Amino acid sequence: MTESAAPERPQYGEYEVEAVLGRGAMGMVYLARDRRIGRRVALKTVQIGQKFDDESDATEFFQRLQREAEVCGSMQHPNIVTLYEPGYENNVISFLATEYVEGESLRDRLKRSKPLPLDDALRIGEDILRGLAYAHAKGVIHRDIKPANILLSSEGQAKIADFGIARPVNSDLTAVGSMLGTPNYMSPEQVKCDTVTTKSDLFSVGVVMYEMLTGVKPFTASDVSGILRNVVEKNPALASEVNPEVPEPIGRFVAGLFAKKPAHRVASATEALEELQNLRSMTPATSVDAMPGEAAEAGANPAPGVAGTTDRADDDTAAARSGLTTQREVPPPIFWGVVAALILPIAAAAAFIHASTDPRPTAVIEPAKAMEFAAKKRALIAAKSLTTAGRYDEAIAAYDAYLKRYPKSITAQVGRADTLKGLERARAKSTVTTESKAPPDKQKSLWQRIFRRRK
């Protein structure tokens, strides 16, 4: 009796399938191995389950695949999934062999636990912006930033995946008039089928960060039409209002990313990354998870009636075994005399502290407010330093930027006015200096010069 042969694994070109990773928008996604070099890859296959209405639809579909291959092939960045090789069949792409990221997607992470810890959310946001800054510098707009397209490696690094509907900035393919993307994460201009720019990706990043920080989608609704209407019209509460653990400056930063009008958003992914890094550096790191271990190592006081019982029991047992008496009976007069001697000084001290202490409540400054105050103070000091250095134009620009954000700041208004006065004095001094350097003859009156020539 002959043994039945083991079923052969599917193969795509030089790639041998090892396992199923999931189903993508175009077909199955496999974990495969490159037989030539042994490298493991994520293999995105193209499996068309429906017929195209006409030849132009089929042409556009395969053009989009070809564009994804060209776009991804031109980019090499730690925060972007690398494309290794496209596979062709009958002159059209049949699969894409990409970097295999061992870990999970951000969508799966949010399904397990949300909201994310503050530092995790900010670190992932930085990685996304870092990858987008690179892609935008290459002239590529992703147009579908969402948790499912953010892969998290086992080391915690975030990588942007699936440039399937990305396009170069100067491309006309699927441009104005076509609504592509995922409703909850689309920008208003995508919903309206208007011109899409790199700022549309920033809007989507803001939505993703909001979900990481709060655990909810800012524009969610019961149906797609409601979601799209919310994207265009709704102004959600700040992330810091939904989740008190989020500092207010972070909440305002995220809101600035998904402002309704592109002109009101941060100028670029690079600027957004720099601002987020500054905010993160001012955010105190949380160490809640490490506290139990640290308390144990430091010998922290145990909970009443729980920890510490064993130690006390062991001490008593050891004393009993050694024949020592651990308790002695004290006569009542002596006992109450000792108690009185201890209580009276304590009561006197308490009365003195109460009398010398201001009974009015003390204000407590929240960390977020303290961070914002420190940032405001640094900005004002920098503007004043520019004025002191005589760099009046830069100082005025700095004050203008500050007043745009804090228009009621008296300090900034006074500083700007002083800077303008300094600029006027500098210009007046420059004019006087120029006039004083004129030739001696030109400084004299006309009659003085005529009389001198006649002499």
Residue 440, pLDDT score: 54
Residue 22 Cα distances to 25, 27, 106, angstroms: 10, 9, 15
Regarding whether 113 and 95 lie in a shared domain, the answer is no
Regarding whether 83 and 145 lie in a shared domain, the answer is no
Residue 171, pLDDT score: 46
- What is the rounded average pLDDT of the residues 405-429? 82
Q: Is the pLDDT of residue 295 over 60?
A: no
Which of 246, 267, 284 finishes a domain?
284
Q: Is the pLDDT of residue 279 over 70?
A: yes
Residue 415, pLDDT score: 83
Q: Is the pLDDT of residue 321 over 80?
A: no
Regarding whether 135 and 263 lie in a shared domain, the answer is yes
Residue 174 Cα distances to 27, 95, 389, angstroms: 21, 21, 52
- What is the rounded average pLDDT of the residues 282-290? 54
For residue range 147-195, what is the model confidence (pLDDT) as tens digits? 999 999 999 899 999 875 444 444 444 443 344 568 999 999 999 989 9
Tokens of 227: 């979601």
Is residue 40 one of the residues assigned to a domain? yes
Number of domains in the chain: 3
Confidence of residue 366 (pLDDT cuts 50, 70, 90): low
Pair 43, 32: CB distance under 8 Å: yes
- How far is the C-alpha of 122 from the C-alpha of 282, rounded, in Å? 12
Mean pLDDT is highest, among 60-74, 210-224, 320-334, 340-354, for: 210-224
Residue 151, pLDDT score: 96
Confidence of residue 436 (pLDDT cuts 50, 70, 90): low
- How far is the C-alpha of 266 from the C-alpha of 130, rounded, in Å? 14
Regarding whether 268 and 249 lie in a shared domain, the answer is yes
Confidence of residue 425 (pLDDT cuts 50, 70, 90): confident
Pair 106, 128: CB distance under 8 Å: no
Question: φ and ψ at 80, to 5 degrees?
Answer: -135, 135
- The HSE-up count of residue 293 (CA atoms within 13 Å, CB side) is 4
Q: Is the pLDDT of residue 416 over 80?
A: yes
Residue 427, pLDDT score: 82
- How far is the C-alpha of 253 from the C-alpha of 258, rounded, in Å? 9
Confidence of residue 367 (pLDDT cuts 50, 70, 90): low
Residues with Cβ within 8 Å of residue 249, at least 6 apart in sequence: 279, 282, 368, 371, 372, 375
Is residue 323 one of the residues assigned to a domain? no
Residue 314, pLDDT score: 40
Regarding whether 193 and 122 lie in a shared domain, the answer is yes
Tell whether omega for the bond before 262 is within 30 degrees of 0, i.e. cis. Answer: no
More confident residue, 373 or 387: 387
Which of 268, 284, 300 finishes a domain?
284
Q: Is the pLDDT of residue 206 over 80?
A: yes
Regarding whether 197 and 276 lie in a shared domain, the answer is yes
Regarding whether 112 and 96 lie in a shared domain, the answer is no
- How far is the C-alpha of 101 from the C-alpha of 158, rounded, in Å? 10
Residues with Cβ within 8 Å of residue 242, at least 6 apart in sequence: 213, 214, 216
Per-residue buried b or exposed e for 209-234, using 16+ beta carbons within 10 Å of the residue's own CB: bbbbbbebbbbebeeeeebbebbeee
Q: Is the pLDDT of residue 237 over 70?
A: yes
Which of 82, 100, 118 finishes a domain?
100
More confident residue, 107 or 344: 107
CATH of the domain at 87: 3.30.200.20
For residue range 140-159, what is the model confidence (pLDDT) as tens digits? 999 999 999 999 999 989 99
Residue 384, pLDDT score: 83
Regarding whether 259 and 117 lie in a shared domain, the answer is yes
Percent of the chain with pLDDT over 70: 67
More confident residue, 67 or 110: 110
Q: Is the pLDDT of residue 444 over 70?
A: no
Is residue 272 one of the residues assigned to a domain? yes
Pair 87, 12: CB distance under 8 Å: yes
Domain of 433 in residue numbering reads as: 387-440
> Longest C-alpha distance within the chain, in Å?
138
User: DSSP for 88-149?
Assistant: EETTEEEEEEEE---EEEHHHHHHHSSSPPHHHHHHHHHHHHHHHHHHHHTTEE-----GGG
Question: φ and ψ at 153, to 5 degrees?
Answer: -70, 170
More confident residue, 115 or 353: 115
Is residue 80 one of the residues assigned to a domain? yes
Confidence of residue 218 (pLDDT cuts 50, 70, 90): very high
- Is residue 144 among the annotated active site residues? yes
- What is the rounded average pLDDT of the residues 233-248? 96
- What is the rounded average pLDDT of the residues 426-434? 71
- How far is the C-alpha of 37 from the C-alpha of 81, rounded, in Å? 19
Is residue 321 one of the residues assigned to a domain? no
Residue 69, pLDDT score: 80
Task: State the chain's mean pLDDT as an integer.
Answer: 77
Helices (H), 258-331: 269-282, 291-298, 309-321
Residue 50, pLDDT score: 56
Q: Is the pLDDT of residue 420 over 50?
A: yes
Tokens of 212: 């990481």
**Sequence letter at residue 32:** A
Q: Is the pLDDT of residue 102 over 70?
A: yes
Regarding whether 267 and 120 lie in a shared domain, the answer is yes
More confident residue, 308 or 146: 146
- How far is the C-alpha of 179 from the C-alpha of 174, rounded, in Å? 8
Q: Is the pLDDT of residue 262 over 50?
A: yes
Regarding whether 141 and 238 lie in a shared domain, the answer is yes
- How far is the C-alpha of 62 from the C-alpha of 410, rounded, in Å? 60
Residue 346, pLDDT score: 63
Residue 332, pLDDT score: 65
- The single residue of 127, 144, 162, 201 carrying the catalytic annotation is 144
Is residue 67 one of the residues assigned to a domain? yes
Regarding whether 172 and 49 lie in a shared domain, the answer is no
Is residue 360 one of the residues assigned to a domain? no
Residue 190, pLDDT score: 93
Is residue 345 one of the residues assigned to a domain? no
Residue 327, pLDDT score: 45
**103: region left, alpha or beta (phi > 0 left; psi from -120 to 50 alpha):** left
Residue 386, pLDDT score: 82
More confident residue, 38 or 25: 38
- What is the rounded average pLDDT of the residues 2-18? 72
Regarding whether 93 and 192 lie in a shared domain, the answer is no
Closest CA to 290 of 123, 117, 113, 153: 117
- What is the rounded average pLDDT of the residues 272-298? 64
Tokens of 410: 């008296």
Length of the chain: 455
Q: Is the pLDDT of residue 5 over 50?
A: no
- How far is the C-alpha of 202 from the C-alpha of 276, rounded, in Å? 13
- What is the rounded average pLDDT of the residues 286-313? 38
CATH of the domain at 166: 1.10.510.10
